[in-house]
């Protein structure tokens, strides 16, 4: 039974608005030159990101007011639809191919990435199942394996696109939720070992992934090839110093740093806003994780608690991977920085997740 409804978590709301605002500004700053060259419009990505941000705010508002309990009714239908979309995106003529990857389906004039929907659907499905059969979570075959199988199916379809980074983050989210539900550490250890083996196999199967791993270990061995992203990102961050070059003053955005408005936007933040600006962004993500976990811990509803854990893990894992890649701490993989990187589908579904999290915060036992 739900607690008496309270006001949403204001700190979490303010944190998200801050990250979203930084994202819209930095997308414009990072992309103004490349879009002027490619589209003859410096505001090309900015206008789209602003539109998606406004749409995301509306979606957040709607899900914040929608009773999260009702999500239980649609668990299987939405998960089924999401998995079907993951299959459809692989079909030529339906899935849109960009740089050798099929990750998008065109919905009218807009590209739609099914993997972003799958993340949210899988979080809801896992939270519902684990909360409903929490007494079985100590048993691997009945309490853990079913969710691993569903997650593995989705991850495999994403891996075929190919998108190893999203597949890894998806697995990480589900494992965090299983841990929060009370699974045995021995089971989690076995899952971790198996997961590392699977990632190793996936890297070995694709030469470019192995090359990326080698570039991560020594980017200067191939500075004009696989090490280029890492080196240019580090140049950007290093040249920012303590206070940065100033908003809009990046040098690396002049076609030196690839993906400067998407996967490597944190490097532009470091260059223009310096160590202080980059640290502020990291602190905002840390604040998001803290408030999200607090909501999960103080929720008296097991379903809501696991749902909040999954959404928090979603944002936390993606931000850690993205910042790790940009700073050369992790191998290069295509993971956007939540709320900040350019990308409509990613931003929209992340904001929907935030709305659900704010919804749950209204029914917690304490503040």
Whether residue 172 has pLDDT greater than 90: yes
Q: What distance in Å separates the CA atoms of residue 96 and residue 93, rounded to the nearest whole number?
A: 7
Which H or E element spans position 164? helix 164-181
Q: In this predicted structure, what is the pLDDT of residue 109?
A: 66
**Per-residue pLDDT band at 205 (split at 50, 70, 90):** confident
Determine the Cα–Cα distance for residues 25 and 9; give it in Å rounded to an integer: 25
So what's the pLDDT on residue 105? 83
User: Does pLDDT of 367 surpass 70?
Assistant: no
What is the overall mean pLDDT for the chain? 89
What is the Cα–Cα distance from 295 to 309, expressed in whole angstroms?
8
Number of compact structural domains in the chain: 1
| In the chain, % of residues over pLDDT 90 | 48
Tokens, residue 101: 């990857």
**Within a domain: residue 249?**
yes
For residue 227, pLDDT over 50 is answered with: yes
What pLDDT does residue 218 have? 82
Q: What's the CA gap between 230 and 331, in Å, rounded?
A: 9
Residue 3 has pLDDT above 70, yes or no: no
**35 within domain boundaries:** yes
- Asked if the structure places residue 164 within a domain, the reply is yes
Say if residues 335 and 166 touch (Cβ distance below 8 Å).
Answer: yes
More confident residue, 180 or 201: 180
Greater model confidence, 192 or 204: 192
3-state secondary structure at position 112? strand
Domain span including residue 66: 10-361
Whether 4 is in a domain gets the answer: no
Q: Which residue pairs, CB below 8 angstroms and at least 24 apart, start in 88-94?
A: 88/114, 89/114, 89/161, 90/157, 90/160, 90/161
Tokens at residue 153, please?
């199916």
367 within domain boundaries: no
Burial label, 42 (beta-carbon count in 10 A; 0-12, 13-18, 19+)? middle
Looking at the domain assignment, is residue 180 inside a domain? yes
DSSP secondary structure string for all residues of 9-77: -HHHHHHHHHHHHHHHHHHHHHHHHHHHHHHS-TTHHHHHHHHHHHHHHHHHHHHHHS-GGGGGGGHHH
pLDDT tens digits for 62-108?
A: 999 888 888 888 888 888 988 898 898 888 878 777 766 778 887 66
pLDDT band at 1 (very low <50, low <70, confident <90, very high): very low
In this prediction, residue 108 carries a pLDDT of: 65
Indicate whether 286 belongs to any domain: yes
More reliable by pLDDT, 100 or 11: 11
Average pLDDT over residues 356-363: 93
> What's the predicted TM-score (pTM) here?
0.93
User: Which stretch of 3-12, 162-171, 236-245 has the lowest confidence by average pLDDT?
Assistant: 3-12
Helix axes 185-205, 207-217, angle to 10 degrees: 110
In a domain, 5, yes or no: no
Region 226-247: mean pLDDT is 89
């Amino acid at each position: 039974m739900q607690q008496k409804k309270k006001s949403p978590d204001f700190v979490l709301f303010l944190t998200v608005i801050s990250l979203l605002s930084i994202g819209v500004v930095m997308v414009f700053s990072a992309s103004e030159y490349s879009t002027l060259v490619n589209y003859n419009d410096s505001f090309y990505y900015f206008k789209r990101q602003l539109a998606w941000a406004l749409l995301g705010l509306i979606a957040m508002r709607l899900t914040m007011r929608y009773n999260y309990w009702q999500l239980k009714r649609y668990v299987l239908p939405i998960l089924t639809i999401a998995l079907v979309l993951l299959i459809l995106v692989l079909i030529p003529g339906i899935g849109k191919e960009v740089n050798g990857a099929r990750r998008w389906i065109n919905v009218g004039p807009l590209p739609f990435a099914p993997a972003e929907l799958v993340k949210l659907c899988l979080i809801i499905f896992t939270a519902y199942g684990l909360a409903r059969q929490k007494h079985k979570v100590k048993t691997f075959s009945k309490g853990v394996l079913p969710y691993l199988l569903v997650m593995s199916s989705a991850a495999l379809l994403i891996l075929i696109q190919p998108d190893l980074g999203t597949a890894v983050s998806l697995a990480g989210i589900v494992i965090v939720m299983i841990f929060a539900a009370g699974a045995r550490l021995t089971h989690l250890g076995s899952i971790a070992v198996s997961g590392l083996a699977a990632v190793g196999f996936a890297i070995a199967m694709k030469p470019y992934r192995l090359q990326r791993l080698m570039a991560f270990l020594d980017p200067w061995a191939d500075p004009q090839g696989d090490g280029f992203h890492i080196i240019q990102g580090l140049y950007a961050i290093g040249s920012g110093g303590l206070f940065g070059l100033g908003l809009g003053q990046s040098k690396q955005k002049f076609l030196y740093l690839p993906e400067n408005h998407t996967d490597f936007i944190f490097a532009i933040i470091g260059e223009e806003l310096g160590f202080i600006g980059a640290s502020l962004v990291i602190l905002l993500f840390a604040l998001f994780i803290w408030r999200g976990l607090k909501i999960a811990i103080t929720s008296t509803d097991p379903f809501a608690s696991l749902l909040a854990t999954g959404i928090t893990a979603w944002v936390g894992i993606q931000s850690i991977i993205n910042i790790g890649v940009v700073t050369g701490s992790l191998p290069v993989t295509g993971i956007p920085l939540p709320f900040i990187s350019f990308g409509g589908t990613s931003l929209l579904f992340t904001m929907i997740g935030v709305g659900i999290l704010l919804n749950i915060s209204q029914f917690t036992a304490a503040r």
